[in-house]
Amino acid sequence: MLNKIESLLQEIKSLKADSADAAEQLRIKYLSKKGRVSLLFEEFKTVPADQKKAVGMALNQLKKSTQDVIQQLKDTFNRDEGANGQIDYTLPGTSRPIGSRHPLAVVRNEIVDIFARLGFTVSEGPEVEDDWHVFSALNFPPEHPARDMQDTFFVNKDPDVLLRTHTSSVQVRVMETQQPPIRSIFPGRVFRNEAISARAHCMFHQVEGLYVDEKVSFADLKQTLLYFAKEFFGEQSEIRLRPSYFPFTEPSAEMDVSCSICGGKGCNVCKYTGWLEILGCGMVDPNVLDSCGIDSKKYSGFAFGMGIERIAMLKYQIKDIRLFFENDVRFLEQFKSAL
């Protein structure tokens, strides 16, 4: 039996084929149900028990070698070559799928572009911050709940090292190092100690905007945000500002944009109100300017901050924020055509 296996192996090693069809015929001859290799497996049943181990191993080896030899023969014909060995240039090329931008990057770039047209530059700051830049310089009183472990991720046990909870920290860094006029936006990732659900995540992205100069007024803020809304959501968009509160702006407001899905008539995206809440804003509190070394008697400014996920969810009607971070290609591929 071992001799038979050996001689068949030699025979197979010297096999040749001059076409893909011939290689297939060889596969049938040796590997099909009644093929010569398969028949040896039949014979294996009659091998005495004490030889079964050695013969079994040799047989498996034979089968593997046969498969390899025939596959190699087939491969020579399966390339983009005609039967005479020449490359067939009319065959379609092998397509290599290219990736696409992440929807959050698409939306961020669009926001950056719109503000760039108004003369805003882009700045960034660190994600691991200290208390001063995230809270103290921004006029958060010491007992403010945002400083609590409940809302903020602290790094180690040091209460002075934390993950920024908003991009407003970059305002402080920019104002500490530059004098007005300052006109800049700050895109970046932020972290909050929140239970993860379809609507909330412990990490997300914001774009912050800051404009500081002499005589900057609330009217400038309104006009800037109206321009943004029209550019991003369409010319027919309207905005409305509702009074709100942030420690670092006074007065403060929340901005709604007219629902771009139903045009303000009411639908389930805007919960039948006709309006979508998209950002927080206000006039920079003079305390903040002074904390950062900017003369609040001479200068004034406005600031705003918006969540990129929220805006992307509205734009693409995405119902679950977790999809952004799962990186399932079936989700990501849908944004292929986007910039």
Binding site for ligand PHE (CB under 6 A): 166, 168, 208, 246, 249, 280-282, 303-305
> Residue 168 CB, nearest distance to ligand PHE (Å)?
4
Rounded to whole angstroms, the Cα distance separating 111 from 169 reads 19
Q: Which is nearer to ligand PHE, 88 or 151 (CB)?
A: 151
To the nearest whole angstrom, how small is the minimum distance from the Cβ of residue 138 to ligand PHE?
8
Residue type, 251: P
The residue (of 106 and 210) whose beta carbon lies closer to ligand PHE is 210
Nearer Cβ to ligand PHE (257/303): 303
- Cβ–Cβ under 8 Å, residues 30 and 12: yes
Whether the bond into 251 is cis, omega within 30 of 0: yes
Q: For residues 38 and 309, give the distance between their C-alpha atoms in angstroms, rounded to a whole number.
A: 60
The structure tokens 């912050």 sit at 208
Q: Which is nearer to ligand PHE, 24 or 250 (CB)?
A: 250
Beta carbon of residue 203, minimum distance to ligand PHE (angstroms, whole number): 13
Minimum gap (Å) between residue 281 Cβ and ligand PHE? 5
Instruction: State the minimum distance, in angstroms, from the CB of residue 306 to ligand PHE.
Output: 8
37 versus 253: smaller Cβ distance to ligand PHE:
253
Q: CA nearest 64: which of 22, 5, 4, 1?
A: 5
DSSP 54: H
Q: What is the largest CA-CA distance in the chain?
A: 103
Closest residue to bound ligand PHE by CB: 305
Sequence-distant (6+) residues with CB within 8 A of 190 are 127, 163, 164, 165, 166, 167, 203, 204, 205, 206
- Residues 6 or more apart whose CB falls under 8 angstroms from that of 50 comprise none
Nearer to ligand PHE, 303 or 314 (CB): 303
Question: Toward ligand PHE, which CB reaches closer, 66 or 152?
Answer: 152
- Cβ pair 206, 307 in contact under 8 A: yes
Q: What angle do CA 109, 326, 207 make, to 5 degrees?
A: 30
Angstrom distance (rounded) from CA 243 to CA 282: 9
- What minimum distance in Å lies between the beta carbon of 97 and ligand PHE? 37
Cα-based distances in Å from 245 to 107, 249, 285: 27, 8, 11
**Cα–Cα–Cα angle for 321, 333, 104, rounded to 5 degrees:** 40
Looking at this protein, which amino acid is placed at residue 46? T
Give the nearer residue to ligand PHE in terms of CB position, either 37 or 212. Answer: 212
Closest distance to ligand PHE from the beta carbon of 159 (Å): 20
Question: Considering the complex, what minimum distance in angstroms separates the CB of residue 184 from ligand PHE?
Answer: 13
